[in-house]
Amino acid sequence: MINVSKVRKNLSNEVANTIIQMIQDNKYKPGSKLPNEMELSEMFDVSRTTIREAVKTLASNNIVKIVRGKGTFVAEKPGLINDPLGVSFIQDKNLILCLFETRLLIEPRVANLAAKRATPGDINKLQSLLIDMEEVINRKENHSDIDIEFHTAIAKATQNPIIERIIPIIIESIIKGYFETVNVPGSPDRALKYHKSIFKAINNSDPEGAEKEMQAHLEATLEDIDIAEKARQRQVNSD
């Protein structure tokens, strides 16, 4: 007896793989809209149910994005999942230290490479982000989103697509680090100072300087995290 469910699953996988190949061949580029369900059904000569299953598979792997009322679009970074290592599910009291330990092993060298390869467009992007960051910090608002954009832009400036995809894996530490240090006096201003120093080195095509400043920035943030943790422990002991 033919297993209909298995046949349909195989068909949907074939359709999904074909769409992936079309994206890889640039027939559908990041951000572009795919044909609707009926059109895809006719294109592949399969049922709309098979198309739905194929699209669902693609969406679960962040290859396409389904926007209600608008259609299905190729993801801006196809295949890049927000939390591929499952960091958000790691239950470890030292998680933030582990994240920063990983960043210390990787990001200084990333900054080094960015200083060698940054284009004028990369420099303009970093400079614009610094201006925005300073304004937000001066208003005493949350600057973590811009912080993430800044570090992501440095990764992009390496012109290495693998590095650009690795950095978001550890970017979670920026968010955690912000909320850990937000009440440490002077922490945002110190972060801004280091970001300016990192930018200056990259702008001057100074790889060793960029690496040194990134190292110093991450180590200083770890010190602020330690200060925050000790303050929290003192508060717990006094209660």
pLDDT of 6 strictly over 70: no
pLDDT of 207 strictly over 80: yes
* Residue 235 near residue 139 (C-beta atoms within 8 A): no
Token digits for 36?
């609707």
Q: Which amino acid is located at 231 in the chain?
A: A
**Strand 71-74 with 64-67, pairing:** antiparallel
What pLDDT, on the 0 to 100 scale, is given for residue 143? 87
Q: For residue range 58-100, what is the model confidence (pLDDT) as tens digits?
A: 998 889 999 988 999 998 888 776 666 676 667 777 777 888 8
- What CA–CA distance (Å, rounded) separates 143 from 135? 9
- What CA–CA distance (Å, rounded) separates 141 from 155? 25
The domains of the chain, with CATH numbers, are 4-74 (1.10.10.10), 87-238 (1.20.120.530)
More confident residue, 237 or 162: 162
What pLDDT, on the 0 to 100 scale, is given for residue 168? 73
SS (H, E, C) 89-120: HCCCCCHHHHHHHHHHHHHHHHHHHHHHHCCH
